[in-house]
Structure 1
């Protein structure tokens, strides 16, 4: 009998195989994209039969879910570490860019072109909501309950459609800032990772920093 929490040799072997499968999956994604992910091709690379590999992953969607979950969890942990000293939009922005550049394929899997026919399960959505909550906490510190400028039509729209904020109590101005953070910074990152700034003479790091500086100015 093993001690509580200890893994048996069979469980350790299964975990090792699953880890190796995911490593080969990332290699496939880097070469041909997530839509071309093939368990049979991975089995061949590992010297296994297709049916044998399906004992570790029931199908492509389960494997993609593992990869997506790992990616979201990694970013959630990165955001949490960046917020240890307190909610900080600047810290989150630089953490996001560092995380994306460290592993572009991981970033593109969750923020790039959606995988055809794949829908993330609720537990993945919960992790993405955790990331958003960290961002909204930071944006709320820069957005007073009574802003100096009158509410915009977008503020009213966001107040009426708060579902994406997953119950966070941030005021509409904070919702608008978080949405701008997500769209503008992801826009710069996506263009940078796709190589669109090459040959333009533009330093994407400076562009990103300038966008982040503007987004972090108190209301």
Structure 2
């Protein structure tokens, strides 16, 4: 918030931030279904009716929380992608995938808010902030793949044979709609990568992986590299070199840390 903004605007912005935090606290302790305007008002010592001066409804509040969460995720992914732009694709992709997983673990409440079973987001509303931030976050993942496909580092053409004509047409239409003029096979490859990443994280964060596996960081790394090979990554992957520890891309990008 601009410190030079009128006092009334600053107070309103501060109140909105406090309302959002109270709602996040509810979600953290009781799940997404626990978010209620009445509960938020009680936590803040306000009358429930007073909240309607800031949010028109419960759904509007939840949608704003989701928009904030997608924006946070997009920021983390963009930071990782910029830092790792000039290295080989396998390492750049793994850095991006690790940034996604790190964000999910550090923002578990927000991840569940976005991708949990109670989510009712309307992400088809292209005029809404929530859908825009979601596309920004996913767009970083897709851009990472599309850049390498365009450079010939990834060749997903073999995927085309497995696409039914109807699916091929829908993928092509989706690409035009999103301004991604690439082949249906390339879009299918991007989707395979995205769903592999998201599926693994959802199983992990929702507690559906076998507990005996313990820390699944290495398994995650392996699957993130396996999936780019599946869609046509053409260079040999030195697993030890690619997965070797390096500087935290978000820390490097933001200048934070010790």
TM-score (norm 1): 0.85
- Comparing 31-40 with 99-108, greater Cα deviation is found at 31-40
User: What's 2:12 paired with?
Assistant: 14
Query: Does the alignment pair 1:57 with 2:40?
Result: no
Select the residue among 87, 108, 112 that pairs with 2:112.
108
Query: Does the alignment pair 1:119 with 2:122?
Result: yes
C-alpha spacing 1:159/1:135, structure 2 compared with 1 (3 Å): farther
Distance in 2 of aligned mates of 1:76 and 1:150: 28
Query: Does the alignment pair 1:152 with 2:165?
Result: no
Assess if the C-alpha contact under 8 Å between 2:73 and 2:103 holds in 1.
yes
Distance in 2 of aligned mates of 1:156 and 1:114: 33
Deviation, structure 1 residue 56: 1.6
* Superposed CA RMSD: 2.6
User: What's 2:80 paired with?
Assistant: 82
Assess if the C-alpha contact under 8 Å between 1:142 and 1:174 holds in 2.
no
Distance in 1 of aligned mates of 2:164 and 2:75: 30
User: What's 1:48 paired with?
Assistant: 46
Q: Give a deviation string over 1:176-199, Cα, whole Å, max 9, x none.
A: 222122211111111111223353
Query: Does the alignment pair 1:178 with 2:190?
Result: yes
Select the residue among 132, 142, 151 that pairs with 1:136.
142
Q: Give aligned pairs, total.
A: 215
User: What's 1:23 paired with?
Assistant: 21
Assess if the C-alpha contact under 8 Å between 2:196 and 2:227 holds in 1.
no
Deviation, structure 1 residue 81: 1.0
User: What's 1:70 paired with?
Assistant: 68
Assess if the C-alpha contact under 8 Å between 1:136 and 1:174 holds in 2.
no
Select the residue among 207, 216, 238 that pairs with 1:204.
216
TM-score (norm 2): 0.73
Distance in 1 of aligned mates of 2:28 and 2:168: 39
Which consecutive unaligned segments of at least 5 residues does structure 1 have?
Answer: none
Deviation, structure 1 residue 90: 1.9
Secondary structure in 2 matching 1:13? helix
Q: Give a deviation string over 1:28-64, Cα, whole Å, max 9, x none.
A: 1122222332111110111111111221212111111
Name the structure, 1 or 2, with higher relative contact order (CA <8 Å, separation 6+). Answer: 2
C-alpha spacing 1:77/1:149, structure 2 compared with 1 (3 Å): same
Assess if the C-alpha contact under 8 Å between 2:36 and 2:58 holds in 1.
yes
Q: Give a deviation string over 1:113-159, Cα, whole Å, max 9, x none.
A: 2435x535432222222223322221124434865747322385554
Secondary structure in 2 matching 1:206? helix
Secondary structure in 1 matching 2:163? helix
